[in-house]
């Protein structure tokens, strides 16, 4: 996934404020956190920015496809090892006798589970990075051998 | 099949972890969804796109003809070899041993060029070992030595060795366990272990072990190679404090001379703390083959049978290893079961297989079957046939097939070859 | 000034360490003869400085040989985060095994894990096809 600087490169860089943000850089950051969509930037619709507009749609597609907490699984990198499944504190709390001890999930309350060799997210509202008392938990990221999980 | 909370679980035969918590969804004779298996296990269960054909001399034949011709080749051979079986059930392995006795064959498997000596030391009780369940319940210091389970046994860390909670490890891996990698390269597993990765220069395992033994003994280590002594002392300190330590030994470290050095390290570790060792067996039932042959002969691989008055005589040793029988061209036919020596062996050694009649039995076409005189398709164990196997830690695991297809199991094929001889 | 172009490709000595790769293992379960398995097996991963020194291009091919055998494989920069000049990585496969000596020094165990080789630019020669 792109960072704000990469997104910025494709913006008009005029700081026109039409999107409601004071600068194009601020818009890039907002875009990344899904506060706005590409459509908010009206100058991008001009012909001279057509290529940039298309490129941006491409860049932010994974953001839009991500779950509500911004969790993305890069399936092509995933080993299906289940480290994240077992390290996730919510998974352990919700299924102590299944994933908590390393085994297959025994109920449907888990956030992460492996299916067809790749980790899959569900019940994402349970993730500790979501909701009113959210914290920046990163246990599924640091236990991954390949950076297959990312929060955007 | 294990039933739990109305769920049916199957066993994955993708590696010697034999994960027994695989859920599948089946439609007709197709498996549509595979849950909990890793990428490698998923791929194993889904199966190959090039199934083993049923062939004699390049021509498609029926299975009866193939079995008859296979029996003829083995019967006519003076010095046949039976090789493979790491991907076969224990029941099939026992049939293969029976066949070897019947035809005075050499019999060997991949442990001959990997973890044979470690398994031998374990079976003779010379090295302390434990089960993976013990590791999950009790281990606090986990060492992956020359092993990268993230790639070779992907669920190793999550199912047993690092991340799961266990009876005496209730607080989770961050507080309760220390995972260490000792390797010549920074593997994916090393990445997870962060600053507990100890990278050692190539060819220095033996020096490293000696220096580590010194450090564990409270002596100043004799650093005969380029390595930061502070790192070594840090490692020794962690190992010393272990309540329940485990070394997972991979291929990266193994060579014949090293075994004695490792045994000394295990001795020292058990003087100063509490350590166990489990070899990272790759093929799902290689250890099963070793144990089955051991029960029968007292040797776990590299055996040659010879009938005699009192039944049969067993010869054992390096001269009967797959590498040496090929190097010295000692065999005149070979039966390869669920294995691909043309792929696994040094090419220059494997090339001798092109000179002799080969019979290849297995679920999928491979480099060896393509040069075999007779190929016999068999059921993919764990998917199309059941049986039992021995996990890398020695625990026996029984499994049932997921789907029923027409192919015979290795066991049935071997029985029929024996009948035809 | 690519004088080297007209000469025999210069050779460099490297130690190859073999390793397991899950994607390659998964491809193997699917097909030993498929493009995917070949692509993931017939590869040598080198330190970027070694690649630069040799003047070869990433994604190009290299001849890797020793007294036991010779294979042509694709060269890639390793994703390794510490320098490892003089050491390269190859996944365990028929391609790496072509370079392993059959001489086991009376042990019956070939030295699979660390292999001494000479590498040179294959100059566009395609990767060795094994097992067809």
Angle made by CA atoms B241, B243, B246, in degrees to the nearest 5: 95
Q: pLDDT per residue over B88-112, tens digit each?
A: 999 999 999 999 999 999 999 999 9
Which CATH number goes with the domain that contains A51?
1.10.15.40
Q: pLDDT per residue over B212-236, tens digit each?
A: 999 999 999 988 888 899 999 999 9
- Kindly report the backbone phi and psi dihedral angles of residue C65, in degrees, each rounded to the nearest multiple of 5, phi listed first: -145, 165
State which residues form the domain around A82: 71-151
* Separation in Å, CA of B203 to nearest CA in chain A: 26
Q: Where are the alpha helices (DSSP H) in B226-278?
A: 229-240, 258-272
**Mean pLDDT on B137-156:** 97
End residue of a domain, out of A24, A49, A65: A65
At C1 the pLDDT is 46
End residue of a domain, out of A49, A65, A81: A65
DSSP per-residue letters across B64-99: HHHHHHHHHHHHH-SSEEEEE-TTS-HHHHHHHHHH
From the list B343, B407, B330, the residue with the least C-alpha distance to B370 is: B343
| Contact assessment for residue B415 and residue B102, using Cβ atoms and an 8 Å cutoff | no
* Separation in Å, CA of B63 to nearest CA in chain C: 23
End residue of a domain, out of A41, A65, A89: A65
User: Has residue B5 got a pLDDT over 60?
Assistant: no
At C6 the pLDDT is 59
Cβ under 8 Å to A: B residues 385-414: none
At B29 the pLDDT is 84
Q: Do A57 and A77 fall within a single domain?
A: no
Here the ipTM equals: 0.94
| CATH architecture type of domain B50-112+284-381+406-420 | 3-Layer(aba) Sandwich (3.40)
* B192 vs C: CB within 8 A: no
- Chain C interface, best mutation among B156, B186, B206, B343, by max C CB count within 10 A: B343
Chain B residues in contact with C84 by the CB 8 A cut-off are 185
User: Has residue A34 got a pLDDT over 80?
Assistant: no
Q: Do A79 and A135 fall within a single domain?
A: yes
Q: Do A82 and A140 fall within a single domain?
A: yes
Q: Delimit the CATH 3.40.50.740 region(s) of chain B.
A: 50-112+284-381+406-420
| Domain count for chain A | 2
Cα→Cα distances B324→B190, B306, C90, C99, Å: 35, 18, 26, 18
From the list B237, B253, B236, B247, the residue with the least C-alpha distance to B276 is: B247
* Separation in Å, CA of B243 to nearest CA in chain A: 20
Q: Do A125 and A60 fall within a single domain?
A: no
Which 3 state secondary structure label does DSSP give B355? helix
Q: What percent of chain A has pLDDT over 90?
A: 41
**Mean pLDDT on B83-87:** 98
Domain B116-279: give its CATH superfamily.
Dimethylsulfoxide Reductase, domain 2 (3.40.228.10)
Q: Delimit the CATH 3.40.228.10 region(s) of chain B.
A: 116-279
Q: Do A80 and A36 fall within a single domain?
A: no
- Domains of chain C: residue spans and CATH: 20-121 (2.40.40.20)
Q: Do A78 and A129 fall within a single domain?
A: yes
């Amino acid at each position: 996934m792109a960072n704000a600087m990469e997104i910025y490169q494709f913006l008009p860089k005029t700081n026109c404020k039409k999107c409601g943000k004071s600068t194009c850089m601020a818009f890039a950051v907002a875009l990344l956190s899904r506060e706005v969509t590409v459509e908010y930037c009206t100058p991008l619709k001009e012909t001279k920015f057509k290529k940039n507009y298309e490129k941006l749609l491409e860049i932010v597609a994974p953001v839009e496809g991500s779950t509500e907490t911004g969790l993305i699984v890069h399936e092509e990198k995933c080993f299906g090892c289940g480290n994240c499944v077992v390290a996730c504190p919510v998974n352990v709390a919700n299924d102590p006798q299944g994933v908590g001890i390393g085994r297959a999930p025994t109920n449907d309350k888990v956030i992460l589970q492996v299916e067809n060799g790749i980790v899959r997210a569900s019940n994402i509202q349970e993730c500790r990075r979501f909701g009113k008392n959210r914290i920046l938990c990163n246990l599924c990221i640091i236990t991954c051998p390949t950076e297959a999980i990312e929060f955007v | 099949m294990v039933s739990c909370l109305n769920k049916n679980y199957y066993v994955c035969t993708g590696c010697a972890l034999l994960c027994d918590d695989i859920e599948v969804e089946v439609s007709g004779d197709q498996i549509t969804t595979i849950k909990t298996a890793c990428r490698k296990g998923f791929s194993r269960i889904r199966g190959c796109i090039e199934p083993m054909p049923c062939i004699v001399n390049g021509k498609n034949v029926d299975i009866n003809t193939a079995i008859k011709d296979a029996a003829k080749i083995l019967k006519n051979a003076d010095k046949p070899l039976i090789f493979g079986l790491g991907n076969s059930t224990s029941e099939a392995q026992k049939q293969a041993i029976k066949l070897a006795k019947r035809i005075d064959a050499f019999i060997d498997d991949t442990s001959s060029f990997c973890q044979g000596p470690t398994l031998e030391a374990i079976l003779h009780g010379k090295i302390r070992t434990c089960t993976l369940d013990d590791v999950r319940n009790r281990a606090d210091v986990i060492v992956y030595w020359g092993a990268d389970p993230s790639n070779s046994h992907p669920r190793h860390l999550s199912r047993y060795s690092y991340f799961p909670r266990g009876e005496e490890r209730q607080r989770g891996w961050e507080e309760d366990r220390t995972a260490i990698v000792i390797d010549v390269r920074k593997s994916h597993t090393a990445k997870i272990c962060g600053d507990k990765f100890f990278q050692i220069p190539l060819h220095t395992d033996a020096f490293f072990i000696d220096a580590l033994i010194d450090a564990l003994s409270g002596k100043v280590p004799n650093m005969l190679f380029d390595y930061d002594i502070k790192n070594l002392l840090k490692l020794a300190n962690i190992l010393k404090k272990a309540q329940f330590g485990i070394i997972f030994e991979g291929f990266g470290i193994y060579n014949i001379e090293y075994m004695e050095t490792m045994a000394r390290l295990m001795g020292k570790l058990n003087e100063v703390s509490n350590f166990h060792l489990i070899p990272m067996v790759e093929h799902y039932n290689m250890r099963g083959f070793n144990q089955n042959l051991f029960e029968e002969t007292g040797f776990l691989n590299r055996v040659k049978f010879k009938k005699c008055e009192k039944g049969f005589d067993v010869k054992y040793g390096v001269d009967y290893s797959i590498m040496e029988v090929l190097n010295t061209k000692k065999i005149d036919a070979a039966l390869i079961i669920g294995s691909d020596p043309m792929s696994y062996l040094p090419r220059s050694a494997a090339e001798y297989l092109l000179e002799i009649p080969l019979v290849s039995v297995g679920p999928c076409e491979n480099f060896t079957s393509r040069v075999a005189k007779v190929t016999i398709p068999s059921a993919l164990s764990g998917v199309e046939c059941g049986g039992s196997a021995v996990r890398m830690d020695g625990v026996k695991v029984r499994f049932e097939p997921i789907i029923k297809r027409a192919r015979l199991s290795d066991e049935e094929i071997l029985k029929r070859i024996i009948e035809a001889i | 000034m690519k004088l080297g172009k007209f000469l025999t490709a210069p050779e460099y000595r490297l130690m190859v360490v073999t390793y397991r790769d899950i994607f390659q293992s998964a491809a193997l379960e699917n097909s030993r003869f498929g493009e995917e398995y070949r692509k993931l097996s017939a590869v040598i991963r080198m330190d970027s400085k070694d690649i630069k020194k040799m003047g070869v291009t990433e994604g190009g091919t290299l001849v890797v040989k020793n007294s036991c055998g010779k294979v042509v494989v694709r060269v890639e920069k390793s994703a390794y985060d510490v320098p490892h000049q003089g050491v390269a990585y190859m996944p365990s496969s028929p391609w790496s095994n072509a370079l392993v000596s059959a001489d086991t020094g009376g042990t019956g165990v070939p030295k699979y894990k660390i292999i001494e080789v000479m590498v040179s630019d294959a100059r566009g020669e395609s990767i060795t096809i094994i097992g067809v």
